[in-house]
Structure 1
Amino acid sequence: MKKYGFLFSGKWIGIFALTVVASLICLYLAQWQMSRKEALDFSNERISLNYDADPILLADSPELFSSPHPDLRWQQVEMAGTYLADQQLLVRNRPYNGLNGYEVLVPFRTNTGQMIVINRGWVEAAFGDAAATATPIPQPPTGEITLTARIVEGEIDTGASPVKGQITSIDLPEIAELTGLDLATANYGVMASESPAPASAPVQRDKPEQDYGPNLSYSVQWYCFALMFYVAFFWSARQKVRNDELDAQLAAELDAYYSQFYDAEGNYIGEVDEEIIRRRMEFVDDMPAHMKSIVRPKPPKKRSRPTDEEEEDALVDKLL
């Protein structure tokens, strides 16, 4: 193993350290991609299990909107109460089917006194009138109704300043502050049905698609990259050993060749002008590394089986 002793030099220790750092970065990115895949898997599972499940009664689980329940995302909840139409808000910059529009939020007071933000659906933005905010918005039904809504987590604050009657995200604490109502701030409801149903209502979005994404393949690729850094390191070390062996072989062959021109005492005994021999020796000594590789002897190719001539010679030798 002495020929691999260069691995303990400062240069190669530094290269190995960079290899380790690069592989760790790849492993981190692989884990990050895997965590994104797991998040998508969780989201897809919630859609499969909860979106079309039978509604549960809010009266039986009054904490559904006031505390986090990620495992119940998209679960339908049935409640009774009245809309607070005078506190309606629009969430701007919400595209749907290639059109820009708004989502309509209306607080809902249940018969038990809870106040929950309900997303009644989507309306298209108006065009041609700078003062207009949206096309005519269908008003929520008045009086007491029975409402079925799906549980969805609140969104994060985008930091944008709201304008009157509009917000940029469904940030429930911000909505509670704007309306002055004691709203549930963990989850809001996406309307599924209203009874009695109004004559018109905002557009209901389609069922969310289950998107599995490319994160698993990306994660596998990063794991492969982490392994490839080590493969490249050890391949480079093996190549250096091979090149050193070829250099030593070349030096031995050159030494054997030029030693024939001198006797044991160092006297020149060749037939060619000694100056020519010396120039040739100096030329080899001064030859750059990329030029020395040209004159390196190539290792003989290994044959899997002897040639016909070799077999015939072996047979003759055996008979003799």
Structure 2
Amino acid sequence: MYRFLLTPRWWGINVFAVLAIPVCLFMGSWQLSRFETRVDSHRDQQTQADAARTADSAPLGDLLPVSTETSGRQATATGRYDTGHQLLVPDRDLDARKGFYVLTLLRTGEGKALPVVRGWLPGDAGSKDDTAKIPAPPSGEVTVTGALQASESPSSKGVRTSGGLPQGQLGVISAASLVNLVPYPVYDAWITVTEAAAPLTAVPPAAAPNSGLDLKAFQNLGYTGEWFVFAGFVAFMWVRLYRREAEAARDLALGITPGLPDGPGDPDGPDDAPQKRSPAEAA
């Protein structure tokens, strides 16, 4: 009765099911492990952030390149502020309020400039009334201490691209976006000062890229469920096809032809079905 399992058609169905189900289970387990890694990374990042706030500051060169271990660490750099290339970073929220960052480049003795976010102001970066409140940066040689941050990418949450922004504004804080705005090389990192001059508000350091429980982490969890659903769907369809084929084989073994009525007579209806008669015949 079950010889249909040895037909070429069922060989193909069986091979597909045998391969598809383990692959789906593997991919679901892999996505789950990615989510668990993100959870562990979030915990480690929280621990590192707490440690970074209490750790002693270190020279900028000792913390580069920026990694998950050095992101948020207090870095120090010495140089002179370039007041001719001060930039505003619009559409940055702080404490549920709209505002903008004030970014000034610090020319260091290493030949490169360090982007320094001197603070945040509420308001619109395009408003003269709001920008008039920005205090001038310190003159002369200064030593700046702040939380080290990795360069932003256009895909980062809350980051606006530089396209279409007016002169003097910057959408993404990165060396790639600054290379066309200043005539000197820039570090592929930036710092946000620990103490900002009034009325500026110090910007808290952000989490390191690709760490923490962000939207991408929960996408991994969603993909986990999808892969397990795919595996269950393949198993369900195999059982359904198997049962339908087994019932058809059992009917053939009993002499029942699929699609035909069980009794003799016209396949369109039983022989003793009432027939319509004309009025003359009825009379």
Task: Note the 1:14-29 alignment, pairs <5 A.
Answer: 17=16
Q: Distance in 2 between matches of 1:137 and 1:22?
A: 61
Q: More deviation in 208-217 or 170-179?
A: 208-217
1:146 equivalent in structure 2:
143
Q: Distance in 1 between matches of 2:140 and 2:237?
A: 74
Q: Give ranges in structure 2 of 5+ residues lacking alignment.
A: 155-160, 270-283
Shift of 1:5: 2.9
Task: Note the 1:170-181 alignment, pairs <5 A.
Answer: 170-181=173-184
| CA displacement, residues 34-77 of structure 1 (integer Å, 9 cap, x when unaligned) | 5466456435523421432413421xx62634x44343111111
Change (3 A) 1:35 1:112: same
Q: Is the 8 A contact 2:147 2:191 kept in 1?
A: yes
Q: Distance in 2 between matches of 1:24 and 1:96?
A: 45
Q: Distance in 1 between matches of 2:167 and 2:17?
A: 55
Matched, 1:168 2:167: no
Name the aligned partner's letter for residue 169 of structure 2: Q
Change (3 A) 1:286 1:15: farther
Name the aligned partner's letter for residue 174 of structure 2: D
Shift of 1:149: 1.4
Matched, 1:45 2:44: yes
Task: Note the 1:34-73 alignment, pairs <5 A.
Answer: 35=34, 38-39=37-38, 41-42=40-41, 44-50=43-49, 51-58=52-59, 62=61, 64-65=63-64, 67-73=65-71
2:157 equivalent in structure 1:
none
Percentage of pairs with the same residue: 15
1:102 equivalent in structure 2:
100
Q: Which structure is higher in RCO with an 8 Å CA cutoff and minimum separation 6?
A: 2
Q: More deviation in 138-147 or 210-219?
A: 210-219
Change (3 A) 1:21 1:89: farther
Q: Is the 8 A contact 1:27 1:222 kept in 2?
A: no
Matched, 1:243 2:251: no
Q: Per residue, is there more helix in 1 or in 2?
A: 1
Task: Note the 1:184-263 alignment, pairs <5 A.
Answer: 184=187, 186-193=188-195, 198=197, 200-206=198-204, 208=206, 211=213, 214-215=218-219, 217-248=221-252, 251=255
Q: Distance in 1 between matches of 2:255 and 2:265?
A: 13
Shift of 1:93: 1.9
Name the aligned partner's letter for residue 85 of structure 1: T
| CA displacement, residues 294-316 of structure 1 (integer Å, 9 cap, x when unaligned) | xxxxxxxxxxxxxxxxxxxxxxx
Change (3 A) 1:112 1:226: same
Q: Is the 8 A contact 1:108 1:116 kept in 2?
A: yes
TM-score, structure 2 as length reference:
0.68
Q: Is the 8 A contact 2:147 2:205 kept in 1?
A: no
Q: Distance in 1 between matches of 2:205 and 2:185?
A: 30
Q: Is the 8 A contact 1:154 1:172 kept in 2?
A: yes
Q: Distance in 1 between matches of 2:17 and 2:268?
A: 33
Change (3 A) 1:279 1:77: closer
Name the aligned partner's letter for residue 195 of structure 2: S
| CA displacement, residues 148-175 of structure 1 (integer Å, 9 cap, x when unaligned) | 2122111235361442110111132321
Q: Distance in 2 between matches of 1:159 and 1:208?
A: 20
| CA displacement, residues 168-192 of structure 1 (integer Å, 9 cap, x when unaligned) | 11132321330212221x2111222
Q: Is the 8 A contact 2:20 2:234 kept in 1?
A: no
Secondary structure of 1:179's counterpart equals: coil
Change (3 A) 1:222 1:53: farther
Q: Give ranges in structure 1 of 5+ residues lacking alignment.
A: 254-277, 288-320
Q: Is the 8 A contact 1:31 1:219 kept in 2?
A: no
Q: Is the 8 A contact 2:31 2:224 kept in 1?
A: no
Name the aligned partner's letter for residue 189 of structure 1: I
**Total equivalences in the alignment:** 251
1:270 equivalent in structure 2:
none
Q: Distance in 2 between matches of 1:35 and 1:156?
A: 22
Q: CA RMSD in A?
A: 4.0
Matched, 1:77 2:75: yes
Matched, 1:156 2:153: yes
**Greater gyration radius:** 1
Q: Distance in 1 between matches of 2:18 and 2:200?
A: 57
